[in-house]
Structures are given as C-alpha cells and as structure tokens.
A and B are shown apart, each in its own frame.
Chain A
Amino acid sequence: AQTVTQSQPEMSVQEAETVTLSCTYDTSESDYYLFWYKQPPSRQMILVIRQEAYKQQNATENRFSVNFQKAAKSFSLKISDSQLGDAAMYFCAYRTRRVAGGTSYGKLTFGQGTILTVHP
C-alpha cells in the first residue's frame, strides 16, 4: 500500500520569505500523480499544484513550485514571497494512474499535514 509522510507538523515563515514543506512517499508503482493541497481555516481543500510522475520537469504555479525527486520518492513544496493568505494546513497526496479497475481507483492517499504560519 502507498503511504505519504509529512515529517513537519508545523512550519513558520516571515512574510515575503521562502519556505519549503517536505513530503516523502512510498510506492512500488512507476506512474502516478502527486499533489499539494491547501486547507485554510475555512476547511475547504484547495489544489495548489499537481505533478505527474512521468514528467521530469518540476511543476510550477506562480509562487508555488515543487522539487520532485522520483528516485528518492520525495516531493517538496516551495512557497516563494510568502503572503499572509498562505497560512493554512498543507497536505501532500498521492494517486495512482492505474485505470484498470481495482479498489484503489481514483483514491488519494494523504500525508498528515503541515500547519504553515506566516508572520507579518
């Protein structure tokens, strides 16, 4: 079974600075998705960034970028120019791309989450 581990329960950063959130995962599959979701105080889960494992290029979305190390099974999120609105719980998640049925179809496996505090 796949597992996702976020080893940093809490992180903090000064406004306008850069912070990196860590995520490691365990899988025997070669084709999968990785995601970072943000959960602000409203509790709604918002997709931050997506990475497909077959793509070597690291995904980037504005101030958010990832460092995807497939061999090391590592998927860290870098937030540049941090803003107060970035304060939230961040979850790393894994999903297989396997489509031939099976009980894991479409299932996201989540890490435990990292609470990010942004100081003004």
Chain B
Amino acid sequence: DGGITQSPKYLFRKEGQNVTLSCEQNLNHDAMYWYRQDPGQGLRLIYYSQIVNDFQKGDIAEGYSVSREKKESFPLTVTSAQKNPTAFYLCASKPRGARNTGELFFGEGSRLTVL
C-alpha cells in the first residue's frame, strides 16, 4: 500500500543533541512538508520541498534543517539550536499537476521528547 512512513514513532534525546526524524513516501508525490504540533497551537510549518534538491523555510524553521536528495525522502534534523524541541512532528506530501486535489497526505507522526 502507498503511504508516508515516519520513524521513529517515539524518540527521547538529551539536551544539546541533534536528532534526525525520517520521512519516506512511496506515493510518487513531488512536494513534501514538515509540521510541528504543540498543544493548543495547531500545526505549524517548519520546512517544505516542492522538488528534489530544493526546499524552503516555513514559519518556524529556526533550529531545524532538512535535505531532499531523493524524491521519496525528506528527513528533518532537530538541532541543538532549537530552543524547545519537545513536540509532535508530522510529515506530509502532495502530488503536483493533474493529481493535485489540494490536500496534504500525512504520516503517523513522530513524538520527540528532549530530557
């Protein structure tokens, strides 16, 4: 079945450590996104990528980095510069062109807890 796989589902890290969250999709979608979810604040966009080797900052990119070396993969690194990294992270994707019906398709998320 086609879908978006995020790993790990749960991750614990000490302060000051960089962590990388994986996002892989086999939907042949061109665009991919990373959102952060905090209680009472909805989802906020961290980074997005429309095509391979290209990505743009979202609303809260500080302290995060991404890469898009393959169409299927869009990993997110939470760096030690991120002041409050404990959150739920959601990866999403979207097709372009005729298959684009507007909505994003989401993975199951990764819960990061920094101790």
Q: Are A50 and B48 in contact (CB under 8 A)?
A: no
The verdict on B84 contacting chain A, using a C-beta distance below 8 Å, is no
Nearest 9 pairs of A and B residues by beta carbon: A45-B106, A110-B42, A33-B102, A110-B43, A112-B42, A43-B109, A44-B108, A47-B103, A106-B31
Q: Are B58 and A107 in contact (CB under 8 A)?
A: yes
Given known contacts A33-B102, A45-B106, is B42 in contact with A106 (CB within 8 Å)? no
Q: Which residue of A lies closest to B111 (CB)?
A: A43
Please, what's the 1-or-0 string for A40-72, where 1 marks a CB less than 8 Å from any CB in chain B?
Answer: 001111110010100000000000000000000
- Contacts from B to A (Cβ < 8 Å): 31, 33, 35, 40-45, 48, 50, 56-58, 88, 90, 92, 94, 101-104, 106-109
Interface size on A, residues (CB 8 A): 25
The verdict on A91 contacting chain B, using a C-beta distance below 8 Å, is yes
Q: Which residue of A lies closest to B44 (CB)?
A: A110
The verdict on A103 contacting chain B, using a C-beta distance below 8 Å, is yes
Rounded to whole Å, the gap between the CB of A2 and the closest CB of chain B is: 11
Q: A45, A47, A105: which has the most chain B beta carbons within 10 Å?
A: A45
A91: chain B residues within 8 A (beta carbon) = 42-43
Q: Are A52 and B102 in contact (CB under 8 A)?
A: yes
Q: Which residue of B lies closest to A1 (CB)?
A: B59
**B-contacting residues, A55-108, CB 8 Å:** 91, 95, 97, 103, 105-108
Given known contacts A43-B108, A103-B56, A106-B33, is B42 in contact with A111 (CB within 8 Å)? yes
